Chain A
């Protein structure tokens, strides 16, 4: 199985400041035939299901604010919130969908400082 490791476990950022979350996969999730990274980011607020933010490592889902961006390739990925808003308080998960068995990272909790 591909293991997804996120860091940090939690993050406190001031309103309007940048938040950066890292995700590392135990093997590459870059598919050479289409040059796509099979990596997604989700946001989960308390009592709700996860919400898709980013797919193909850097493509923003429709309706997601442009302060959310994804980057990286191969095994190392980053989710950046450029200017943290109060409504961004949540747990963020990365997920690989490259392998037969899909796996999620352990999550990063983002709070307001």
Chain B
């Protein structure tokens, strides 16, 4: 079935780095932009970043710009999020999410992963 599976979360100290992965299956990954969305405990979702279907175009939320880098390997159907200089306010569940329509960046998300928890604490 169509699914996204995140991995790579964990507990890290402030200032450290972490790389998240999002493995896709059940659809043609290379046809879809993919987004990262995070949700801090007890809060609403917050959009983090998006990469276009071909990896050429990327956008970031102001809160992560310059610290986080999104990338994808279409040959492996996998999305990555490299997170550097982590801060306590980056603590959240990180989800990857797929827009409904192929090759469209901005659209409602019909597929979400189960999420991976990132905790930044000393």
A-to-B contact residues, CB < 8 Å:
38, 40, 42, 48-52, 55-56, 61, 93, 95, 97-98, 100-107
Contact = CB atoms under 8 A, between A and B. Distances in A.
Contact of A49 (B47, B100, B114): B114
Interface in B101-115: 106-110, 112-115
Query: In terms of DSSP, what is the predominant structure of the interface of chain A?
Result: loop
B15 interface: no
B41 interface: no
A57 to B, nearest CB: 10
27 contacts: A40-B108, A40-B109, A42-B45, A48-B114, A49-B95, A49-B97, A49-B113, A49-B114, A52-B108, A52-B110, A55-B107, A56-B108, A93-B45, A95-B108, A97-B106, A97-B107, A100-B106, A101-B47, A101-B59, A101-B62, A102-B35, A102-B50, A102-B106, A104-B44, A104-B45, A104-B46, A107-B44
Nearest to A107: B44
Interface size range on B against A: 20 to 34
A18 to B, nearest CB: 24
A3 to B, nearest CB: 12
B112 A49 contact: yes
A52 B109 contact: yes
Contact of B44 (A38, A98, A100, A105): A105
